[in-house]
Amino acid sequence: MEKKNIFKESGISLDQLRSKQSVRTTFKLPEEVINLLSVIAGQLGIKQKSLLDQLTEDVVILNQIALTARKTQQKTVVRQQKTFVMSKSSLQAINEAAKRQNIPRDLLLEISIRRLLPVIDEEQEKHQRRKKVITEMHIHLKRLEDLRNNTDLLLGESDDFYIMLNSQVQLARKNLRYAQAVIDKGQAIEEW
């Protein structure tokens, strides 16, 4: 009896919990849109499901998108089937908004995903700036290695200055490997 009261008092209902359940559903989308979702999710390190839910869970925004989509003439594009995982509530919001505005739900999802285009533009710019920074990091590492090597010649490997500089070289190499991994991850953005 006490457990039921805690459940009720928390403001959580079974319907709310069920609406968060994941469902698999298939849409027909342009390949470019499918790739856009995949690249952004990968770059930001979040799951496609989470990204889709964020793009589609706000019913007010979906209705605005649906109204806009109905007014604009869409050119014929080649679409391919793609199955996505999303929350039940997001799928229901898409279906209701599409039905209310009498537009295909595929088009509604496509336009929702295209809202990510400014994000990818921003990430592409960041990627280019990161590439400039990593070039500077390589130069810095080379100078640091030269300084350490000169210190070895002047003072020897057992000197505190050499030990300190060697530690800095190792740290700089580690950071450079991490930075390179970030650049490699961003390669998909560059190729998009």
- Give the separation between CA 38 and CA 40, rounded to whole angstroms: 6
**104 contact partners, CB below 8 Å, separation of at least 6:** 98
Give the tens place of pLDDT for each residue, 50-82. 999 999 988 889 988 888 887 765 667 899 999
Residue 4 clears pLDDT 60, i.e. is over it? no
Q: What is the rounded CA–CA span in Å between residue 69 and residue 3?
A: 47
**Is pLDDT larger for residue 90 or for residue 59?**
90
Lowest mean pLDDT among 8-17, 124-133, 158-167, 168-177: 8-17
Section 90-97 average pLDDT: 93
Distance between the two ends of the chain, CA-based, in angstroms? 56
pLDDT for 144? 98
pLDDT range class, residue 9, cuts 50, 70, 90 = low
Contacts of 169 by beta carbon, 8 Å cutoff, 6+ apart: 141, 144, 145, 148
